[in-house]
Amino acid sequence: MNNISRQTLISSILVIAALAFLVHRSRSFTSRPAPVERVWPVMGTFASVTLRGDHADQLDAVCDQTAAMLETVNSLMSVYIPDSEISRLNATTEAVPVSPLTRQMLERTRHYTQGTGGAFDATVLPLVRLWGFSGGKTPETLPSDAMIEAARRLMGIDKLELGENSARMTAPGTTLDLGGIAKGFAVDRCYEAVIAGNAVNAIFNLGGNIRVHGKATPDRPWRIGVQDPFEQGETLGFLALDSGMALATSGNYERFVMINGKRYTHIIDPRTGRPVEGMAGVTILSESATETDALSTALFVIGIEDAAATLARFPGSEAIMVPDRRPTEIYLSKGMQAKFVPHPEYRNAIRRLPE
Ligand code: AMP
Ligand code: MG
């Protein structure tokens, strides 16, 4: 098991253990059936789901539906699967038929690429591969300026043409990588299944993309720890999530390559064509897991100085940003300040994002 998988597994197990404790406590309040809890590998990471409600058979059904939904999203949109709809789209400049789910995903992808001024840019795949991610081979030496420029010239979401039931990449070599948004999108689709299936309390965690429904116990909201980017398995503090809210973190520790003894992270700055330096972790809170996923990647690229201006374009989204320097500093957006509860040792590390 590689580093990401191990860390994600540990995080998932911690979440499940915490939930199991809460659920155990809460059962004395209620005669409801036992919660359904599952953890399984999918989309190159781990999914964990906990559901509580009045009807055990409904909970099982919703759980099965979420597992099936994650498989569906993966099989349609993974660039690792040669005949996924996205791989087929990437391989040609002809129009490719796409399912309603992929069509919706592509529309959202374009929305966030445009809304973040291209900091989140799903046409980043040639650069992502050049640096050794998403199926690329880890380079032994740093890619040359000419190689970076050549890959960068292939980018542009304007080359994605969306029809009603089809899509087309209009320029040869321009290719999509939905790795920065697909997990959040998948979590939103699972969330919808829960609402439809009447599971009253639920938490999904797909590789750090979280969305909740209801409460952890009858008298307590879901509380989620915010990952400390410098200490595996440790948290900086907590956030209480109201029903329906989503949370996602992008971190430089999640996936990286070593070139000439230096660590390069998996998030690429489309403006420079190089892995982002200077950020350690970005956590976004919002009403949609698609948005938290896209914006956590985007703000990781944008950095502390310009983050507030981007957030202002997405009302309801709030950020926690940790630069890659010690001692730890934790920058909070305006609306995050009343929500994030740092551990006592980090109270003096709190800063405000510049407006
Ligand atoms: P996340 O962990 O959600 O921040 O997503 C990171 C993944 O998104 C990477 O592993 C790449 O597959 C892809 N990616 C890297 N840089 C970008 C970018 N600037 N915009 C969109 N996707 C990106
Ligand atoms: Mg993301």
Residue 162 host element (H or E): strand 160-162
Residue range 1-19, pLDDT digits in tens: 444 445 555 555 455 444 4
Residue range 247-275, pLDDT digits in tens: 999 999 999 999 999 999 999 999 999 99
Residue spans in the chain of domains classed CATH 3.10.520.10: 6-75+181-341
Q: In terms of CATH, what superfamily is 77-180?
A: ApbE-like superfamily (1.10.3980.10)
Token pair belonging to 349: 């590390």
Mean residue pLDDT of the chain comes to 91
CA distances from 206 to 3, 15, 31, 106, 271 (A): 16, 12, 29, 20, 29
The fold of the 6-75+181-341 domain, in CATH, is T-fold (3.10.520)
C-beta of 293 in contact with ligand 1 (< 6 A): yes
Query: Best of 109, 266, 276, 321 to mutate for ligand 1, by most ligand atoms within 8 A of CB?
Result: 266
The ligand that comes nearest to the alpha carbon of residue 207 is 1
- Ligand 1 centre distance from Cα of residue 32 (Å): 41
Locate all alpha helices (DSSP H) within 154-256, ordered by sequence. Answer: 182-197
For residue 293, the ligand 1 atom closest to its alpha carbon is 3
* Cα 27 from chain centre: 31
- Tell me how far apart the alpha carbons of residues 236 and 88 are, in angstroms, rounded to a whole number: 42
Residue range 132-169, pLDDT digits in tens: 998 889 999 999 999 999 999 999 999 999 999 999 99
Q: Which pLDDT does position 56 carry in this prediction?
A: 84
C-beta of 254 in contact with ligand 1 (< 6 A): yes
C-beta of 273 in contact with ligand 1 (< 6 A): no
The pTM of this model reads 0.91
Token pair belonging to 99: 């399912």
What is the DSSP annotation of 97-113? Answer: E--HHHHHHHHHHHHHH
Token pair belonging to 40: 């399984």
Q: Which pLDDT does position 307 carry in this prediction?
A: 98
Residue 301 host element (H or E): helix 289-302
Return the closest-CA partner of residue 330 out of 351, 302, 309, 344: 351
Residue spans in the chain of domains classed CATH 1.10.3980.10: 77-180
Q: Kindly give the interhelix angle for 100-115 and 56-77, rounded to the nearest 10 degrees.
A: 70
pLDDT at 102 over 60: yes
Cα dihedral across residues 26, 12, 177, 99: positive or negative: negative
pLDDT at 199 over 80: no
Q: Coil, strand or helix: which one is 215?
A: coil
The ligand that comes nearest to the alpha carbon of residue 286 is 2
The ligand that comes nearest to the alpha carbon of residue 301 is 1
CA distances from 210 to 94, 185, 284 (A): 36, 11, 10
